[in-house]
C-alpha cells in the first residue's frame, strides 16, 4: 500500500514537473520572440515605428503584432510616443524628432547643435512641419513642431545619425529659418553660425530669394555685410522702406541702418 502511494506521488511530481517545463519552454519561446523583434527594431534605420511597420518586420497579421507590441510596452522595452507610434528607449532624441511626422525636418538652434555650431546644450528639439502638432516628450527631451507653409518647406536633407535616418535642414536653410523666427534660435547664435559654418553663399542667396520674406532679406543682408559680404545690389529691389528690428525679442531702441532698413537693437561681435 505504501509502495503504491509512493508511485502515485512520484507520478504527481513528474506531472507537475512536466507542466512546469512545458510552461517554461513556452515562456522561453515568447522571450526569444521578443528579443528577436527588439533586435530587428534596433537594426532598422527607422527610429519611429507604426503597427504596419511591425507587421512587415514580423511578417505576421495585425492582431499578432498588437499582442507583441503590448507585451513589449508593458515590460518597458518599447515606448508609445503617441497613438499608433512607438520607439525604443534610450535612443538619441534627434533620431526620433524628425520621424514622428512626415515630412518634417530638424531646424533652428537644433540644426546648429547637429552641425556643432553652438555650445548650448539642447533642452528642446525644434522640428519644421507642414502641420501644426502638439509638442511631445521623449526621454526628458521636448520635441516642438513649428508649422511652415509649403512655399518655405525646402532646403533639408536626409542623413544617417547614430545608425538611424533623420531629416535635418541644410545649414543655409537653418540660418534663414532662424532669421525668420529668432525665438527658436537667437540672432547672436545665427551670426555665429554664419561666421563659423562652411556656407555655400550661392545656395544661401538662392534660398533667401525663394524664402520670400523681406525681413529675412534685411536681417541676412545686414549680417552678411558685417562679415564682409555685400549683397545690397542683389537684394535692394526686395527691401521695403519700413524698418525692421534686427532682434524682435529685444527692446526697439537702437541705431537705424538706412541701407538695410534695420534697427540694430543688438550688438553683435
Looking at the predicted structure, is the pLDDT value of residue 31 above 70?
Answer: no
Looking at the predicted structure, is the pLDDT value of residue 126 above 50?
Answer: yes
Share of the chain above pLDDT 70, in %: 88
> Which stretches does DSSP call E strand in 51-199?
79-82, 85-87, 104-106, 124-129, 136-138, 141-147, 156-161, 164-169
Peptide linkage before 244 cis (omega within 30 of 0):
no
User: Mean of the pLDDT values across residues 89-100?
Assistant: 93
* Residue that wins the pLDDT comparison between 70 and 166: 166
Q: How far apart are CA 245 and CA 250, in angstroms?
A: 8
Q: How far apart are CA 222 and CA 247, in angstroms?
A: 12
Out of 21-30, 64-73, 188-197, which region has the weakest mean confidence (pLDDT)?
A: 21-30
Share of the chain above pLDDT 90, in %: 64
User: Mean of the pLDDT values across residues 231-236?
Assistant: 95
Look at residue 12 in the predicted model and tell me its pLDDT. Answer: 45
Look at residue 70 in the predicted model and tell me its pLDDT. Answer: 84
* Residue that wins the pLDDT comparison between 38 and 88: 88
Q: How far apart are CA 51 and CA 83, in angstroms?
A: 10
User: pLDDT tens-digit profile of 161-192?
Assistant: 999 999 999 999 999 999 999 999 999 999 99
Cell of 195: 561666421
Which of the four pLDDT bands, split at 50, 70 and 90, describes residue 26?
low
Looking at the predicted structure, is the pLDDT value of residue 25 above 70?
Answer: no
Report the interhelical angle of 2-43 vs 62-74 (nearest 10°): 100
Q: How far apart are CA 190 and CA 1, in angstroms?
A: 93
User: Mean of the pLDDT values across residues 234-252?
Assistant: 94
* Residue that wins the pLDDT comparison between 269 and 197: 197
Note whether 95 and 166 are within 8 A (CB): yes
Look at residue 143 in the predicted model and tell me its pLDDT. Answer: 97
Note whether 87 and 48 are within 8 A (CB): yes
User: Mean of the pLDDT values across residues 60-72?
Assistant: 82
User: pLDDT tens-digit profile of 143-161?
Assistant: 999 999 999 999 999 999 9
Residue 121, exposed/middle/buried by CB under 10 A (0-12, 13-18, 19+)? exposed
Note whether 174 and 111 are within 8 A (CB): yes
Look at residue 57 in the predicted model and tell me its pLDDT. Answer: 79
Strands 262-264 and 255-257 turn out to be antiparallel
Cell of 88: 525604443
Which of the four pLDDT bands, split at 50, 70 and 90, describes residue 16?
low
**Which domains are seen in the chain, by residue range?**
11-87 (1.10.10), 93-264 (no CATH)
Contacts of 134 (CB under 8 A, 6+ apart): 145
Q: How far apart are CA 183 and CA 187, in angstroms?
A: 9
Of the candidates 76, 141, 87, 132, the residue with the CA atom closest to the CA atom of residue 113? 141
Which of the four pLDDT bands, split at 50, 70 and 90, describes residue 2?
very low
Amino acid at each position: 500500500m505504501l509502495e503504491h502511494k509512493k508511485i502515485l506521488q512520484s507520478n504527481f511530481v513528474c506531472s507537475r514537473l512536466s507542466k512546469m517545463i512545458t510552461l517554461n519552454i513556452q515562456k522561453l519561446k515568447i522571450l526569444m520572440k521578443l528579443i528577436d523583434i527588439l533586435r530587428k527594431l534596433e537594426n532598422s534605420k527607422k527610429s519611429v515605428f507604426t503597427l504596419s511597420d511591425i507587421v512587415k518586420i514580423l511578417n505576421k497579421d495585425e492582431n499578432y503584432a498588437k499582442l507583441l507590441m503590448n507585451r513589449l510596452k508593458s515590460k518597458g522595452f518599447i515606448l508609445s510616443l503617441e497613438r499608433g507610434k512607438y520607439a525604443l528607449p534610450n535612443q538619441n532624441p534627434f533620431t526620433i524628432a524628425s520621424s514622428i511626422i512626415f515630412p518634417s525636418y530638424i531646424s533652428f538652434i537644433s540644426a546648429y547643435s547637429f552641425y556643432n555650431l553652438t555650445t548650448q546644450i539642447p533642452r528642446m528639439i525644434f522640428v519644421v512641419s507642414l502641420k501644426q502638432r502638439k509638442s511631445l516628450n521623449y526621454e526628458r527631451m521636448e520635441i516642438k513642431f513649428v508649422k511652415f507653409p509649403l512655399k518655405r518647406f525646402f532646403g533639408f536633407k536626409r542623413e544617417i545619425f547614430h545608425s538611424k535616418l533623420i531629416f535635418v535642414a541644410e545649414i543655409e536653410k537653418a540660418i534663414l529659418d532662424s532669421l525668420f523666427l529668432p525665438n527658436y534660435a537667437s540672432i547672436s547664435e545665427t551670426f555665429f553660425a554664419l561666421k563659423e559654418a562652411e556656407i555655400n553663399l550661392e545656395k544661401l542667396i538662392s534660398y533667401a530669394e525663394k524664402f520670400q520674406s523681406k525681413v529675412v532679406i534685411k536681417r541676412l543682408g545686414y549680417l552678411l555685410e558685417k562679415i564682409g559680404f555685400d549683397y545690397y545690389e542683389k537684394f535692394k529691389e526686395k527691401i521695403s522702406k519700413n524698418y525692421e528690428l534686427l532682434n524682435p525679442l529685444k527692446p526697439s531702441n537702437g541705431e537705424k541702418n538706412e541701407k538695410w532698413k534695420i534697427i540694430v537693437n543688438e550688438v553683435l561681435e
